Amino acid sequence: DGTYWRSALSWASENGFDVVVELLIKGPKIRRKHIIKLSFPKGAEIDARDKYGRTPLSYAAWNGHMASVQRLVKAGARVDSKDEIGGTPISYALCSGHENVARHLMKGAQVDSVDKISRELLISATKKGHESIVKRLLENGTITEAVDSTGRTSLSYAAEGGHVAVARLLLDKRADVNMIEQEGGRTPLAHAIDNGSEDIIELLLNRGAKVDYSFTLP
């Protein structure tokens, strides 16, 4: 695909076309009444990445297609492959609420706890402004807020990046609009002011952001 840089295996995995996934993996020759003949000289690349760095397994896990997930894993797909925001097949299964798929992927794998995986993905997604991923994580109820190793919250990253829709999603789930960071004592509003985004500033003020906090400039 010229727009998304996605392979046929990626599209088939996302849509749960299990038979097609199997055919693309094995690279068979198909004959139907000697009229139709499809030839694949070799199997599809299992971990082919699209423009976002996501693999077919990530898409299958995201949509909860267990049969496709099982086929891909059996064929050697990596369960720990990370995309541009650090998302993995396991984290996408979790953020979409497909715990059975996540458990299958976690069998025998050296992975972090479900809680840690979800929090890391939420931080990464808010930094990049990936609204759909943030929405799924929040709707699933696995997590409502995340704090990274420096004490910064997902809301502060959304404010810094000017991601209004993402910030609104977090606030709707009652993210603390006045959370003070451990390092520097900054709040989401301070980051929004640095960014200069009037929409973010207005949103935070409307949701109760206090303007009388002092903070250290970066």
Quick: pLDDT tens for 133-189: 888 888 876 576 788 888 889 999 999 999 999 999 999 999 999 998 877 788 999
Most confident of 30-34, 126-130, 142-146: 126-130
Q: Which CATH class is domain 134-218?
A: mainly alpha
Strand, helix or coil at 40? Answer: coil
Pairwise CA distance, residues 43 & 41, whole Å: 7
> For domain 1-111, which architecture applies?
Alpha Horseshoe (1.25)
Q: Using one digit for the tens of pLDDT, what is the confidence trace for 50-108?
A: 888 999 899 899 889 898 899 889 888 898 888 988 888 988 887 777 878 888 888 75
What would the two tokens of residue 174 be?
């009652």
Pairwise CA distance, residues 76 & 50, whole Å: 18
What would the two tokens of residue 92 be?
């996408």
Strand, helix or coil at 32? Answer: strand
Give the pLDDT of residue 200: 95
Amino acid at 87: G
- Residues 53-88: b if buried by 16+ CB within 10 A, e if exposed: ebbbbbbbbbbbbbebbbbbbebebbbebbbebbbb
pTM above 0.85, yes or no: no
Q: In the chain, which residues fall in CATH 1.25.40.20? A: 1-111, 134-218
Pairwise CA distance, residues 99 & 211, whole Å: 41
Mean pLDDT to the nearest integer, 198-202: 94
Pairwise CA distance, residues 11 & 29, whole Å: 20
What would the two tokens of residue 117 be?
């995986």
Amino acid at 216: T
Give the pLDDT of residue 125: 86
